[in-house]
Amino acid sequence: MNLFSLAKKFPTEDAALLHLIKTRWPHGVRCVACDCDKCWLVEAKGTTGKPRKLFQCSDCGYQFSATANTLFHDSHLPLTKWFAVICLMVEGKKGISASQVRRHVPMTYKTAWYVCHRIREAMQEPKSLKLGGESTTVEIDETYVGGRKRGTGVKAGRRAKTIVVGIAERDGRIHLQTVRSAKNHYVRPVIREKVDPETPKIVTDGAGRYRTMIPREKHEQGNHKRELHNKNWTTTQTVENAFSLFKRGLVGNYHQLSAEHLDRYLGEFCWRYNRRKMQPWLFDMTLVNLLNKKPLPYKELTF
Residue range 82-105, pLDDT digits in tens: 999 999 999 988 999 999 999 999
Phi, psi of 205 (to 5 degrees): -85, -165
Q: Tell me, what's the pLDDT at 228?
A: 67
Q: Give the strand order in the sheet containing 39-45.
A: 39-45, 51-57, 63-64
Q: Tell me, what's the pLDDT at 46?
A: 67
CA-based end-to-end distance of the chain: 34
Phi, psi of 278 (to 5 degrees): -120, 30
Q: Tell me, what's the pLDDT at 43?
A: 86
- Residue range 186-211: average pLDDT? 93
| Alpha helices for the chain (secondary structure H) | 3-9, 13-24, 79-91, 98-104, 109-122, 154-160, 184-194, 224-230, 237-249, 262-274, 282-292, 298-302
The H or E element containing residue 168 is strand 162-169
Which neighbouring-strand residues pair with 178?
Answer: 164
pLDDT higher than 90, residue 261: yes
Distances (CA, A) of 110 to 122, 257, 268: 19, 16, 20
Could you tell me the pLDDT band of residue 119, with boundaries at 50, 70 and 90? very high
Give pTM, 2 decimals: 0.91
Phi, psi of 49 (to 5 degrees): 90, -10
pLDDT > 90: percent of the chain: 74
∠ CA(48), CA(49), CA(53), 5° rounding? 100
Query: Coil, strand or helix: which one is 218?
Result: coil
Please report the domains of the chain, with CATH numbers, ordered by start residue: 3-126+280-302 (no CATH), 137-257 (3.30.420)
With contact defined as beta carbons under 8 Å apart, do 300 and 108 qualify? no
pLDDT tens, residue by residue, 205-246: 888 889 999 999 999 988 777 766 666 666 888 999 999 999
∠ CA(123), CA(128), CA(253), 5° rounding? 25
Q: What mean pLDDT, rounded, does the chain reach? A: 91
Q: Which residues contact 229 (CB under 8 A, 6 or more apart)?
A: none
Q: Tell me, what's the pLDDT at 51?
A: 79
pLDDT higher than 80, residue 149: no
Percent helix, strand, coil in the chain, to 5, is 45, 15, 40
Interatomic CA distance for residues 247 and 270, integer angstroms: 13
Interatomic CA distance for residues 300 and 303, integer angstroms: 5
Q: Tell me, what's the pLDDT at 72?
A: 97
Which neighbouring-strand residues pair with 74?
Answer: none
With contact defined as beta carbons under 8 Å apart, do 16 and 10 qualify? yes
- Residue range 167-188: average pLDDT? 94
Sign of CA dihedral 84, 286, 270, 2: negative
Phi, psi of 298 (to 5 degrees): -60, -40
- Residue range 276-300: average pLDDT? 95
> Beta 63-64 vs 51-57: how paired, if at all?
antiparallel
Could you tell me the pLDDT band of residue 152, with boundaries at 50, 70 and 90? confident
Q: Tell me, what's the pLDDT at 111?
A: 96
